[in-house]
């Protein structure tokens, strides 16, 4: 039987798959055990948002600006970024539930269940967040960016330039 996973969704096992939660985790673990991916955070977000419940679902829905603090070991990677630039910040959504495969979009039980890969849910097997933001200010290895819905302490995996059409 499937079980509820709070307001965000439910576990991958259950009536649809005919497998218990433990069986699904075991099968997924066995299938992907040999494939290890290691990510090394380059920094973290410093935000006034402290909990998932405080955070808007998208940056454009009233999220504040926040500081992206880059580890000094990666400071040279910031060369070429300037105030006013748009960048994509890739985050590791460290408070996500990695066992969820289905959710009610936007957390609304009135919406039919959808697979997490068809949604922007933070709960998913590999909880990477993609945030298109504007660099407001740069102070050493700190970038004031926004708007961003990431909560305080969220690890930063990468920062990527937004390419203008026709640019290389």
At 156, which CATH number? 2.40.30.70
Query: Is residue 131 assigned to a domain?
Result: yes
Q: Are the CB atoms for 114 and 9 separated by under 8 Å? A: no
User: Residue 144 falls within a domain, yes or no?
Assistant: yes
- Is residue 57 in a domain? yes
Q: Is residue 53 part of a domain?
A: yes
Alpha helices for the chain (secondary structure H): 21-32
Can you give the pTM of this predicted structure? 0.74
Give the number of domains in the chain: 1
CA distance 105 to 95: 18
Q: How many residues does the chain have?
A: 168
Mean local confidence (pLDDT), 63-83: 96
Find the domain containing 43 and state its range: 4-161
139 in a domain, yes or no?
yes
Residue 6 has pLDDT above 80, yes or no: no
Q: In the structure, what pLDDT confidence band is assigned to residue 27 with cuts at 50, 70 and 90?
A: low
Give the pLDDT band (50/70/90) at residue 59. Answer: low
167 domain-assigned: no
Tokens coding 31:
């299938």
Q: How many CB atoms lie within 10 A of CB 15?
A: 8
Domain membership of residue 84 (yes or no) is yes
Confidence band, pLDDT 50/70/90 cuts, at residue 103: confident
CA of 112: how far to CAs of 14, 26, 64, 99, 115, in Å?
17, 27, 30, 19, 10
- State residue 56's pLDDT score: 55
């Amino acid at each position: 039987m499937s079980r509820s996973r709070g307001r965000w969704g439910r576990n991958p096992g259950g009536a649809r798959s005919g497998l218990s939660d433990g069986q699904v985790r075991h099968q997924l673990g066995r299938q992907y055990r040999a494939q290890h991916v290691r990510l090394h955070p380059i920094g973290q977000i410093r935000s006034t948002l402290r909990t998932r419940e405080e955070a808007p679902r998208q940056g454009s829905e009233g999220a504040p600006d926040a500081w992206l603090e880059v580890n000094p070991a990666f400071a040279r990677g910031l060369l070429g970024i300037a105030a006013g630039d748009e960048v994509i910040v890739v985050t590791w959504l460290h408070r996500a539930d990695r066992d969820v495969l289905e959710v009610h979009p936007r957390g609304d039980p009135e919406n039919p269940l959808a697979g997490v890969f068809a949604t922007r849910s933070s709960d998913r097997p590999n909880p990477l967040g993609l945030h298109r933001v504007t660099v407001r200010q740069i102070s050493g290895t700190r970038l004031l960016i926004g708007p961003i819905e990431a909560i305080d302490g969220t690890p930063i995996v990468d920062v990527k330039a937004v390419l203008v059409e026709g640019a290389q």
